């Protein structure tokens, strides 16, 4: 097995299932030990499955639960990871929440909930990464191609993910002298439970047709971009927002 990241330690937030699990597994395939973060007790069994997949590859894993929308919890996530592994080389800032709803129907509680995880939580993961990553480390944020789309129903999801672009540019500038790169990947509609929970058959058909391949994206379509950005070959790529969506939208 080719293991270009052998000896590295990766932290993946929201790694219990869907894309997060795939990112964690792929990084382990390449040689990383992996911190598997999950949000709530309801995701524990899924997080344990992710950890087992990593361990079966001969890599080490550590499962950590926490609501990273609280800055102290985000900081503690890094503290526990460093206590266990001694360093962190790669952070995949993947945890997120989504709710499809008409603009006029969102409540204040829903606004706070989505911004707390997608914006505030992502910010404090990046802040801790800036403080605690090894030199030549990698910060890989997961955004959304809805940042470039003209579509309704996702005002709070897209709006709460939009700040990642500016966070990415600002942090890339501040940590670049240490060789750390910071980028945001913006997937299009991906065939996961996370996506389907918000959609009906008509919208799935519409979004599938929007791709040049007439299909939804697959997790496997996004994993190679994470793999590249985690690698030494991505050193000249930083501060970027990278759309990976099969032609769903361009910007």
Task: Taking residues 143-162, report their average pLDDT.
Answer: 95
Q: Is residue 4 part of a domain?
A: no
* Mean pLDDT value across residues 189-194: 90
| Pick from 30, 31, 117: nearest CA to 73 | 117
Q: 3 lies in a domain?
A: no
Does residue 227 sit within a domain?
A: yes
Determine the average pLDDT of the residues in 137-163.
Answer: 96
124 lies in which domain range? 9-244
Residue 151: which pLDDT band, with cuts at 50, 70 and 90? confident
In a domain, 38, yes or no: yes
Dist. CA 116–CA 39, nearest whole Å:
13
pLDDT of 234 above 70: yes
pTM of the model: 0.96
Active site residues: 157
Whole-angstrom distance, CA of residue 178 vs CA of residue 182: 12
- What's the CA gap between 80 and 22, in Å, rounded? 22
Closest CA to 91 of 182, 160, 28, 168: 182
Q: Give the mean pLDDT of 112-140.
A: 98
Nearest Cα to 130, choosing from 119, 118, 141, 139?
139
pLDDT value at residue 2: 87
* Residue 209 predicted with pLDDT over 70: yes
What's the rounded mean pLDDT across residues 226-238? 98
Overall number of domains in the chain = 1
pLDDT on residue 195: 84
Q: Is residue 72 part of a domain?
A: yes
What's the pLDDT at 1? Answer: 67
In-domain check, residue 235? yes
| Interval 60-114: pLDDT, tens | 999 999 999 999 999 999 999 999 999 999 999 999 999 999 999 999 999 999 9
Residue 175 lies in a domain: yes
In this prediction, residue 157 has a pLDDT band, given cuts at 50, 70 and 90, of: very high
What dihedral angle (degrees, nearest 10) is formed by the CA atoms of 106, 167, 244, 19?
A: -70
Model confidence band, residue 207 (pLDDT cutoffs 50, 70, 90): confident
> CA-to-CA distance for 184 and 173, rounded, in angstroms?
14
**Tens digit of each residue's pLDDT (9 = 90 or more) over 32-65:** 999 999 999 999 999 999 999 999 999 999 999 9
Beta-bridge mates of residue 33: 9
Rounded distance between C-alpha atoms, residue 56 and residue 79, angstroms:
25
CATH of the domain at 47: 3.40.50.720
Q: Which residue has the tokens 């309801």?
A: 42
């Amino acid at each position: 097995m080719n293991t270009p990241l052998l000896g590295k330690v990766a932290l993946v937030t929201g790694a219990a299932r869907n894309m997060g699990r795939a990112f964690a597994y792929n990084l382990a395939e390449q040689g990383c030990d992996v911190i598997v973060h999950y949000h709530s007790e309801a995701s524990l069994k899924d997080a344990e499955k992710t950890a087992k997949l990593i361990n079966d590859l001969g890599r080490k894993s550590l499962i950590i639960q926490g609501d990273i929308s609280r800055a102290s919890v985000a900081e503690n996530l890094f503290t526990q990871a460093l206590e266990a592994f001694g360093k962190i080389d790669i952070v995949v800032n993947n945890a997120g929440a989504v709710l499809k709803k008409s603009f006029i129907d969102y409540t204040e509680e829903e606004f706070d909930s989505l911004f707390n995880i997608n914006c505030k939580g992502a910010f404090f993961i990046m802040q801790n990464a800036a403080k605690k990553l090894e030199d030549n480390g990698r910060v890989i944020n997961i955004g959304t191609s809805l940042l470039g789309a003209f579509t309704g129903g996702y005002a709070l999801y897209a709006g709460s993910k939009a700040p990642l672009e500016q966070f990415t540019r600002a942090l890339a500038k501040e940590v670049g002298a240490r060789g750390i790169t910071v980028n945001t990947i913006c997937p299009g509609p991906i065939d996961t439970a996370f996506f389907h929970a918000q959609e009906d058959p008509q919208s799935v058909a519409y979004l599938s047709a929007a791709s040049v391949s007439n299909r939804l994206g697959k997790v496997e379509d996004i994993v190679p971009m994470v793999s590249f950005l985690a690698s030494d070959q991505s050193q000249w790529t930083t501060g970027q927002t990278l759309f990976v969506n099969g032609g769903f939208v361009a910007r």
